[in-house]
Amino acid sequence: MELKQQKLLLVLILTLLFATATPDSEYVRPLPRKTLTTIPWDSISKAHSSYPQQVHISLAGDKHMRVTWITDDKHSPSYVEYGTLPGRYDSIAEGECTSYNYLLYSSGKIHHAVIGPLEDNTAYFYRCGGKGAEFELKTPPAQFPITFAVAGDLGQTGWTKSTLAHIDQCKYDVYLLPGDLSYADCMQHLWDNFGKLVEPFASTRPWMVTEGNHEEENILLLTDEFVSYNSRWKMPFEESGSTSNLYYSFEVAGVHVIMLGSYADYDVYSEQYRWLKEDLSKVDRKRTPWLLVLFHVPWYNSNKAHQGAGDDMMAAMEPLLYAASVDLVIAGHVHAYERSKRLYNGRLDPCGAVHITIGDGGNREGLAHKYINPQPKWSEFREASFGHGELKIVNSTHAFWSWHRNDDDEPVKADDIWITSLVSSRCVDQKTHELRSTLLTP
């Protein structure tokens, strides 16, 4: 059998597996009022072959934004025209392009162009490749207040559509997604479907994402890890001194955000660990008094799903985050919501981080409804429902966090809390020596 025929047979087998697979038992649960059916990949209208599609934006360094889009026409140019008035573009930015093959699938031409410098808190109108629709984006503010929308494990279901609609009602500046985007799971047309699904939202506000296990896409002897994710969702890793798109950092309006990779090497000898120490050493808490960290697999989790999955990463990296006085840690992976009190090393600690698990964006596997009882002392609130979070950082000392469950297609606020920054509680000052010692230790 020729290699091409072998690949075709493999694709057919994978298609059958994908179509007949059932979720893990920990995620099986009857869901009321809304089906958990994946949106058919061909239900979203296909763009003209030469027109830009799957447009999304992300932050790309100080006062710059990266615009990403895909065309089926391999000869389409990679540039973005933009300006502050509709239909009038007084600036243009040349970009780069890439593509990839996965078994018998060949992607379209994937374009990335960085525009800027841009004014803060300003609407811009832009067009990709000189043709197609005009898009409008809004840049984040330069100072507080700033609002982040948060939801992980998004997927492509009816619940996903509700979550996106609810997020759209929130007047947010940046969307944070801690892993598991499309749930394509090697079926590459689902990446295209996801890009079209989120375009109305991701083309207007920057989406800052990190990888989850469903981005890994390893099958049998094919080991092109994260090729789809890295090709389609380029983040500002180079701008932040990282050597991998799987982990990076960025700053916006007084907040330093670190996106770590649960599926990149993270032990004390790894490149990610070295980069994290270097990145933390550069954080200026006078300029960015708030310090947030996101990754996919939670370190603190009282759900029975994925128990202990983040222990190794926590053992290696939690001391760094504690020494640096990280305010808030956000993860996904577990398909439920949970918020902790401030803690470190498994114990309540007023100088520790608040940990939030929010892997409930709308995935096709269902919810993780089994919890460990009694509820640990560190666990403040937990619930297995789909939903999203909103983090409004009001000033250098106070932020308001709220979680909104999906219920009858309406966002219902189920949990909220005011969070005081560790800068204002003097934890940062108290741990200055500890931070310096930790970061300078080989």
Q: Where are the alpha helices (DSSP H) in 158-269?
A: 158-169, 189-202, 227-232
Whether 322 is in a domain gets the answer: yes
Check whether residue 90 and residue 199 sit in a common domain: no
- Determine if the peptide bond prior to 442 is cis (ω within 30°): no
The last residue of a domain, from among 92, 117, 138: 138
Domain boundary among 138, 167, 186: 138
Residue 175 pLDDT greater than 50, yes or no: yes
Count of domains observed in the chain? 2
Residues 194 and 317 in one domain: yes
Has residue 30 been placed in a domain? no
**Domain annotation covers residue 2:** no
Reference 431, options 354, 314, 351, 358; nearest CA is: 351
Does 48 score more than 80 pLDDT?
A: no
Predicted confidence band at 103 (pLDDT cuts at 50, 70, 90)?
Answer: confident
130/153 same-domain check? no
In the predicted model, is pLDDT for residue 5 greater than 90? no
pLDDT computed for residue 63 by the predictor? 96
* 180 and 108 in a common domain: no
Contacts of 193 (CB under 8 A, 6+ apart): 39, 41, 42, 44, 156, 182
The H or E element that residue 435 is part of is: helix 432-440
Examine residue 42 and state whether it is found in any structural domain, yes or no: no
Q: What is the largest CA-CA distance in the chain?
A: 68
The β-bridge relationship of strands 105-106 and 109-115 is unpaired
> Do both 200 and 111 map to the same domain?
no
Structural domain boundaries enclosing 373:
146-440
- Residue 17: inside a domain, yes or no? no
SS3 434: helix
Among residues 133, 131, 135, which one has the least CA distance to residue 73?
Answer: 131
123 and 213 assigned to the same domain = no
Specify the pLDDT at position 410.
Answer: 65
**Confidence at 34, pLDDT banded by 50, 70, 90:** low
Task: Report the DSSP pairing between strands 290-294 and 328-331.
Answer: parallel
Asked if residue 13 belongs to a domain, the reply is no
Residue pair 38/155 in contact (Cβ under 8 Å)? The answer is: yes
Q: What is the CATH number of the domain that holds 80?
A: 2.60.40.380
Look at residues 106, 138, 170 and tell me which one is the last residue of a structural domain: 138
Q: Which helix (H) or strand (E) is 13 found in, with range?
A: helix 3-20
Q: What is the pLDDT of residue 132?
A: 92
* Residue 413 shares a structural domain with residue 360: yes
Q: Which CATH number do you get for residue 178? A: 3.60.21.10
What is the C-alpha to C-alpha distance for residues 381 and 414, in angstroms, rounded to an integer?
Answer: 10
| Token pair of 82 as six digits | 């933009």
Does the pLDDT at position 15 exceed 70? no
Same domain (yes/no): 178, 89: no
80 belongs to a structural domain: yes
Residue 435, pLDDT score: 82
Q: How is the chain split among helix, strand and coil, in percent rounded to 5?
A: 20, 30, 50
pLDDT, the chain, mean: 89
* Tens of pLDDT, residues 185-244: 999 999 999 999 999 999 999 999 999 999 998 776 665 689 999 999 999 999 999 999
Same domain, 129 and 219: no
| 235 found inside a domain | yes
Query: Which tens digit of pLDDT belongs to each residue from 348-377?
Result: 999 999 999 999 999 999 999 999 999 999
User: Do 360 and 381 fall into the same domain?
Assistant: yes
Active-site residue numbers? 306
Query: Has residue 49 got a pLDDT over 80?
Result: no
In this structure, the answer to whether residues 186 and 289 fall within a common structural domain is: yes
- Are 219 and 303 part of one and the same domain? yes
HEC profile of 336-356: CEEEEEEEECCEECCCCEEEE
So what's the pLDDT on residue 357? 98
Identify the residue with better confidence: 234 or 47: 234
